[in-house]
Amino acid sequence: MATSVHQLYRRLETIGRGAYGSVHKGIEIATGNVVALKIINLDTEDDDVADIQREVALLTQLRDAPNVTQYYGCFLDGPRVWIVMELAQGGSVRTLMKATKDGTIEERYVSVIIREVLFALGYLHKSGIIHRDLKAANILITAAGKVMICDFGVSALLVTASSKRNTLVGTPHWMAPEVAHASAYDAKADIWSLGIMIYEMVTGNVPNAHIMDQAKLIQMLPRMKPPRLTEGEGSKELREFLVHCLRESPNDRLSADDLLKTKYMKTFIKSPPVTILKELIIRYEAWLSTGGSRASVAGPLSWEEDEERECVTMSKCWFDVSTGC
């Protein structure tokens, strides 16, 4: 008789809800390890078994990936599917940004986050995977300071290294021009999103945050000049690094591996250690204890998803290995 998931894991408090189902903090009974439990009810959700199988296939492929949320297993529980994931108790970078008055993160932390994200992107892109929704809300920090990319719900597998996509997916404010234009695109779309994420961490918000109409923004993106940090927003070296990410032509953007070889990244390639990021968590917890609110510093924006959900799980994965859709 198959072991019930309830014999393996104990569900604790609910920490996120969304169209995909719910996420709970959980305990692995045998070890006492804390995990995230994503539970999808197939009777009430649009997900079907084939969709979940594809998502699990991607998660399994990424088990050895550096700086990616770890997948522990998938279990059937009547009409429900439990997907067990690593829980990042520090929360997302976007959440940790709330603890400062202007909602920004100091460059000594930004540089470490960039480095760790590039390690992950290098692995993903070599594996033919585009994340397609890179942003501060999808970068998690564990209690030990480890940086992890999460939410592969719109990630895509490229059949070959030279394959390209033309599907309009992602969050518009972080979307590369070629994606918004519905042109063919590849892994360099993630590099653009990384640049926008850097801008977000340094300034406290994304470029064109005042534009709430997503359809309008998508139409405007291909015609806009690439965003730039101004003097005083990060060091000169960081501003130059950003330019390598935010170039209009994907061919002019550096790859993840090449970005790690830039002068700016070489400065931080071995130090400081990720443990420095624990300071962000300590600051955030102190801020909460003195009355800080989990609401966004500038108020929730219409394009922002539920950050508490993004901090712990991945939404449904919409990729098709065989067709490239």
The confidence band for 180, taking pLDDT boundaries of 50, 70 and 90, is confident
Q: What is the pLDDT of residues 130-168, one digit of tens each?
A: 888 899 988 999 999 999 998 765 455 544 444 555 555
For the record, the structure tokens of 189 come out as 């779309």
List Cβ neighbours of 295 (8 Å cut-off, separation of 6 or more): none
User: 171 exposed, middle or buried (CB, 10 Å; 0-12, 13-18, 19+)?
Assistant: buried
According to CATH, where is 1.10.510.10 located in the chain?
93-310
Residues belonging to the binding site are 38
Q: What is the pLDDT of residues 50-78, one digit of tens each?
A: 666 766 777 888 888 999 988 899 898 99
Q: Any idea which fold 5-86 has?
A: Phosphorylase Kinase; domain 1 (3.30.200)
User: Has residue 40 got a pLDDT over 60?
Assistant: yes
Residues belonging to the binding site for ATP are 38
3 state DSSP class of 179? helix
Active-site entry in 133, 151, 186, 190: 133
According to CATH, where is 3.30.200.20 located in the chain?
5-86
Q: Please name the amino acid found at residue 182.
A: A
Global pTM reads 0.81
Radius of gyration of the chain (CA): 19
Q: What is the pLDDT of residues 270-304, one digit of tens each?
A: 889 999 999 999 999 999 998 876 543 333 433 34
In sequence order, the β-bridge partners of residue 185 are: 165
Map tokens 């895509």 to a residue: 156
46 is catalytic: no
Q: What's the CATH architecture for 93-310?
A: Orthogonal Bundle (1.10)
